[in-house]
Structure 1
Amino acid sequence: MNNVHLLMGYVLLLMQLSQGISRYCQEAVDSAESVRSCPTSKEEWEIAAWKKNCSKIASQQNCSSAEKFQYHCVLNGYRNETLEVCAPSRIIFGHCVEFNLQGGVIQEQYSSPCNDTFPRCDKHYSSSTAYKYPNCYQLVSLSGIIYSKTTMKYHETSTTDESHSREFQIIVGITAGFSFAVCICACIIRVIRYKTKAHREAPINEMGGSICVSLVESNKARGLSD
């Protein structure tokens, strides 16, 4: 079962890389707003998404298809604020999700891997369903952050090490592609070996059958002569 999940993860990652979902999106950066908290249920999420009205700019951006350009409420790169943002949704692998301002992209919060205790999240999930994993929101530290009663436009100049994030994504993509290719090659080799083995055993079985028939006929002949 673990191998199946791993293979599915590789396939999903390759699909994302091929679609260019991990690229910078200016429209997403412009839409980012700091909020006190994020929705923790589907109903709250839908209400917040309606208020944010990402569909208004979904048809005007070229970061992804309009269908994938969705409402998000996630951690920021520093893990000290939650942000509402309209951005291309993507598959997240085993981490809480963040919106990285410098990268202009929804991605894994690499300092927040999920586990069986805290924070909890699935091995892979859509970033647009982050409300299912409220543990991730609890990671936010409010120390030193002053909030107004209403949301404010977010213009932080982030110094998050985006280059490390990009390098990590590239390494993961290459590793995933290589591993997937190895799996395919291993399957092909096993099939070839199986067919070769079956082909070799067939003449031996036929020879054994012929020998048995010859022995039976010989015994019959001896019986008649006696």
Structure 2
Amino acid sequence: MVDKCPENEEGWQKAAARMNCSKYAHQCDNPDKFVYHCAVNPYINETLEVCAIQKTIVRGYCTYYSRLGKSIQLNYKRKCQTFSSNPCPDFYPSNEAFKYPGCYKLEMTSVLTTDSPNSGSSTSNISKCNMNLTLTNPSNERGNSDIAWKLGITIGTTAVFIVITVVVYIFLVRRKS
């Protein structure tokens, strides 16, 4: 969370350099599109600095950052194309939102949404790059390993049970004959 988003290109470039999104871009399918963003949250009551995939924003809407989806989204509650001062065009790159400061005007009321302010990572402002991103959190790796181990035991136990059941059935059928 930041007090406010950069208001011009120079401020945007400084913030982008500080965030250093290129450090993580190599993990993405499109590393050139993994860039700095400053956006409001879904409630439009705080501004966030994140590294996320650049999107083309369409139909003249502002953006917001979804912690749940870990991506930049269209903010259907705010249409920057209708701003009297500095309206946005029909299409613009999400990482150029600083050109439309009206998008960052915060509201101090809660808005019902499917996003949660506490969802997603609490320790990182780095967005997902793709579905194949390798996790580097040791607890997640251990958790995935534990799940695979439990699944293997369950499948193995089930297979042994089925084999024993079939053998007993065949034995009983032959015994009756």
Instruction: Find out whether 1:98 has 2:56 as its counterpart.
Output: no
1:107 partner SS = strand
Percent identity for Structure 1 against Structure 2:
40
Cα deviation for residue 118 of structure 1 reads 6.5
Matched, 1:157 2:119: yes
Match of residue 117, structure 1, among 80, 84, 89:
84
Q: Kindly provide the amino acid, as one letter, of the partner of residue 141 in structure 1.
A: E
What displacement does 1:117 show? 2.3
Is the contact made by 1:74 and 1:99 (CA closer than 8 Å) also made in structure 2?
yes
Larger Rg: 1
CA distance in 1, matches of 2:100, 2:22: 24
Query: Partner residue of 1:50?
Result: 17
Partner Cα separation in structure 2 for residue 52 and residue 96 of structure 1: 22
**Following TM superposition, by how much is the alpha carbon of 1:83 offset from its aligned partner in structure 2, in angstroms?**
0.7
- The answer to whether 1:129 aligns with 2:96 is yes
TM-score (norm 2): 0.58
Aligned AA (2:33): K
Stretches of structure 1 lacking an aligned partner (at least 5 in a row): 1-33, 145-154, 159-226
Contact 2:43 2:109 in 1 (8 A): no
Amino acid aligned to 1:79: I
The CA deviation at 1:120 is 2.6
Measure how far apart 1:110 and its partner are: 1.1
Letter in 1 for 2:47: T
Residue 104 (structure 1) shift? 1.6
Q: Which residue of 2 aligns with 1:223?
A: none
Question: Number of aligned pairs?
Answer: 113
In the alignment, residue 157 of structure 1 is paired with which amino acid? S
Quote the offset at 1:157 in angstroms: 2.8
Q: Which residue of 1 aligns with 2:129?
A: none
- What is the CA-CA distance between 1:41 and the residue it aligns to? 0.4
CA RMSD of aligned residues (A): 2.3
- Residue 108 (structure 1) aligns with: 74
Give the CA deviation at 1:107. 1.4
**CA deviation digits over 1:177-224, x for unaligned, max 9?**
xxxxxxxxxxxxxxxxxxxxxxxxxxxxxxxxxxxxxxxxxxxxxxxx
